[in-house]
Amino acid sequence: MADVKSEQSEERHEALQALESSFSELMTVFRRFVSEAAERVSPGMLPATFKALSVVSRFGPLTLSALAERLTADKGFLSRAISELEDLGLVTRTPDPNDGRSRLITVTELGHARLADARAPHESRLYDAMADWSIDDIRHLSTLLHALAVGEVPVRG
């Protein structure tokens, strides 16, 4: 019995190492995409600034505090990044109607257009890579990734 547990433990360890390696590959590809997209939005733009623009586009309007929390990033850096984006005409800051001390960050039409243009070269990559996958496999992967992200055991369907 102890040999079976030891064998399963070793198999789990090997499987987790393979998963870690796969995530590393995926993150390398993602970092390259973000760097290239940031450069397309505005030459010299830092990838972290592009991420801030992307998050505001997806979840905004947001306060600086909410953006910092969502990105788990330093408010000082984000304040400078938002100022850069504002200077480029990609975001605006307006008073928060719920809190007069805060300002809401919103992506402008130009910001949305630049994001779309920046993402266009990679937009179909995921679709193309999974073109031959079954819809059930795609949904299962989505379920597994969500469970991993939130630290839950995946529900088997």
Same domain, 79 and 106: yes
Same domain, 26 and 8: yes
Rounded CA-CA distance 57/111 in Å is 8
pLDDT of residue 99: 83
CATH code of the domain covering residue 104: 1.10.10.10
66 vs 5: which has the higher pLDDT: 66
pLDDT of residue 155: 78
Scored b (16 or more CB within 10 A) or e, 56-81 reads bbeebbbbbebbbeebebeeeebeeb
Same domain, 114 and 96: yes
Q: pTM for this structure?
A: 0.77
From 96, 106, 26, select the one nearest 58 (Cα to Cα): 106
Q: Which domain holds residue 21?
A: 2-122
Instruction: Tell me the pLDDT tens digit for each residue of 46-85.
Output: 999 999 999 999 998 999 999 999 999 999 999 999 999 9
